[in-house]
Amino acid sequence: MPQPAVRTRFAPSPTGYLHVGGARTALFNYLYAKTCGGKFILRIEDTDQARSTEESYHQVLDSMRWLGMSWDEGPELENQGPYGPYRQSERREIYDRYASDLVTQKKAFRCFCTQEELEKKKAQREAMGLPPVYDGKCRNLSDDEIQTKLDSGLSYAIRFRTHDTTNEVVVQDMVQGNVRFDTSLIGDFIIVKSDGFPSYNYAVVVDDHEMQITHVIRGVGHLSNTPRQIMIYNAFGWAEPAWAHVSEIVGSDHKKLSKRHGATAITAFRELGYPASAFINYMALLGWSTPDGEEYKSVAELEKIFDVSRCNKSPSMFDVFDLSKTENAELSGLSAVELEPYLFAKSKMNWLSNRHIRALDEEQFITDILPFVKEVGVVPENEVHAKDERLRSVLLSLRVYLDYYMQIRRYLPDFYTSFDPGKTWNDAAMEWVKHELFLSLAKEFLRLIQTKGNEEITQDDYKEYMNTAGKTIGAKGKNLFMNLRVAATGRTEGLELPVYLVLLGKERVIERLTRTIETAEKL
């Protein structure tokens, strides 16, 4: 008998931006569906009227799209899928229908208690050291009593009648193993709120059933809700899906991701210029490991090898910030530029991201980085173009240095703006500026370059001039090359010098050497 096709879903509530925790849950669902050749469904859980916003809904979808986690069924698709609508707010009649079935079968009941009343009772029970469960006041109202209350226009919620039949529920979980729960500790919980909207534990069951979800992959925070959901499955006589509760992600302070870690919005990392594939790769490694131990993986490969049952139970840290810098900092709401200084430069994410950037197809790399080039603002507008040969060469030469695209702003001005030698020189550079042969080498190098007249100068030409200057002045090795490097670039580090000089262009090389000589002579 063939296994039914795997169907997973990600079910965010649109009450804020998509953050790393949610995105990773989405990713696990997405990857698991891909690996199994199944379907990935996106469902919006917007039953909280007070907190759900349209803006958040768009942000979440936007982040999903950027990450490339395309859904097979869900909102904003030409063909949304056979089990829609995929926004819970549009599925009211479905929940109503099933809820009245439950009420008719006495598996659920109307509760007329007011919120104030319930809060008071809860406080009392807590004071007495009792578990804060519903006391069952409306549990056994007679039909007449109910009708009277209904007639007088009292509003009501619908509660599920728990622990009538069993007193233990076992959650069989692909990650957590078998977890037992005592249902006597679970009170009759609300399935339909007095505003008529379904509550989470109820809507999620109805939808997962209706949408034929086979595997529920979500954060372990939902584990203790699962017995309630299983009770509902049982009440309807429906088969449970397979459960997989994956570990939570914590911040650098070992606390669960929260507002304090506002910088964990997915959009922040897009703005910083991490390739989506790198971010995916990094997130996949949080709580999961590849079977072969290799950590650098393309998305295509992850889509072939992901298996939820390899997930571990312990929480993992989203460790991309420098703890010493973030200690007293409020990271939420910062722009990418403001956020960048707080990043830990040598994080595993940066390492992975650098590898992803270097593995990119050339055209893709240029396309991806161009918006960031434009943002830097130093490249003349008519040259910010994928076809511009010089820009291409500069970008392609620099790519090995980049962990994320926004870093291009550190390097680009060097190629596109005139420089002030006095300011560029740091301590290391000054060591060479003061070198006894610095000026004579710079002058001789400049003279040789100028002999070329209007002709282009190639890398080989530069190499020749460097060697010639060395012989004429009597310098070689480090003394030759470092002096010339500092003379032409103002820095002690950077690209291979002939490559760099060709990228710079003859005019700028001459200008720089000239200014360097002027400045050095005044010292």
Looking at 140-148, 191-199, 333-341, 452-460, which segment touches RNA (CB under 7 A)? 191-199
Rounded least distance, CB 244 to RNA, Å: 13
Interacting residues with RNA between 131 and 170 (CB under 7 A):
131-134, 155-157
Q: How far is CA 128 from each of CA 131, 189, 399, rounded to the nearest angstrom?
A: 9, 21, 65
Count Cβ atoms below 10 Å from residue 459 Cβ, excluding itself.
15
Asked if 54 touches RNA (CB under 7 A), the answer is no
Closest contact distance (angstroms) between CB of 397 and RNA is 10
Pairing of strands 242-246, 215-219: parallel
422: its two tokens = 């006095």
Interaction between residue 193 and RNA (CB under 7 A): yes
CA gap 206, 246 in Å, rounded? 22
Among 201, 281, 353, 516, binds RNA (CB under 7 A): 201
- Rule CB under 7 A: is residue 120 a binding residue for RNA? no
Q: Applying CB under 7 A, does 493 fall inside the site for RNA? A: yes
By CB under 7 A, residue 315 contacts RNA: yes
Cα-based distances in Å from 116 to 151, 158, 196, 267: 22, 17, 19, 40
State the residue for tokens 């919120």: 115
Q: Directed axis angle between helix 459-473 and helix 497-504, to 10°?
A: 120
Site for RNA in 88-117 (CB under 7 A): 111, 113-115
Interacting span for RNA (CB under 7 A) from 30-38, 97-105, 230-238, 247-255: 247-255
State which residue, 453 or 477, has the beta carbon closest to RNA. 477
Give the x-and-dash track for 252-291 against RNA (CB under 7 A).
--xxx----------------------------xxxxx--
In the bound state with RNA, the residue whose beta carbon lies nearer, of 275 and 287, is 287
Q: C-alpha angle 19/21/24, rounded to 5°?
A: 105
Q: Which range in 71-79, 93-101, 215-223, 388-396 contacts RNA by CB under 7 A?
A: 215-223
Q: Cβ-count burial of 436 within 10 angstroms (0-12 exposed, 13-18 middle, 19+ buried)? A: exposed
Question: What is the pattern of x (binds RNA, CB under 7 A) and - over residues 326-365?
Answer: --------------------xxx--x---x----------
Q: Which of the ranges 162-170, 449-457, 471-479, 508-516 carries the binding residues for RNA, by CB under 7 A? A: 471-479
CA distance 489 to 441: 14
Q: At what angle do helices 497-504 and 477-489 cross, to 10 degrees?
A: 20
Question: Minimum Å distance from CB 153 to RNA?
Answer: 14
182 binds RNA (CB under 7 A): yes
Q: Which alpha helices (DSSP H) does 257-400 contain, by range? A: 266-272, 276-284, 299-305, 323-326, 336-339, 348-359, 362-376, 389-398
**What's the closest the beta carbon of residue 465 comes to RNA, in angstroms?**
13
Say whether residue 64 binds RNA (CB under 7 A): no
- The two tokens of residue 348 are 């595993």
Check binding of 190 to RNA (CB under 7 A). Answer: yes
At its nearest, how many Å lie between RNA and the CB of residue 272? 17
Q: Are 55 and 22 in contact (CB under 8 A)?
A: no
Query: What is the spatial distance between Cα 191 and Cα 296, in angstroms, rounded to a whole number?
Result: 44
Please tell me whether residue 474 binds RNA under the rule CB under 7 A.
no
Pick the piece of the chain touching RNA (CB under 7 A) from 242-250, 271-279, 361-369, 430-438: 242-250
Q: Interface with RNA includes 472 (CB under 7 A)? A: no
Say how far apart CA 489 and CA 413 lie, in whole Å. 12
Strand partners, 104: none
Question: Could you tell me how many residues of this chain bind RNA (CB under 7 A)?
Answer: 88
Calpha distance 27→21 (Å, rounded): 10
Taking CB under 7 A as the criterion, the residue among 16, 21, 38, 187 binding RNA is: 187
39, 485, 506, 512: residue in contact with RNA (rule CB under 7 A): 485
Nearest to 43 by CA among 63, 17, 16, 72: 72
Q: Does 176 bind RNA (CB under 7 A)?
A: yes
Q: Which of residues 378-437 bind RNA (CB under 7 A)?
A: 400-401
Q: Answer yes or no whether residue 47 interacts with RNA by CB under 7 A.
A: yes
- Should residue 205 be labelled a site residue for RNA when binding is judged by CB under 7 A? no
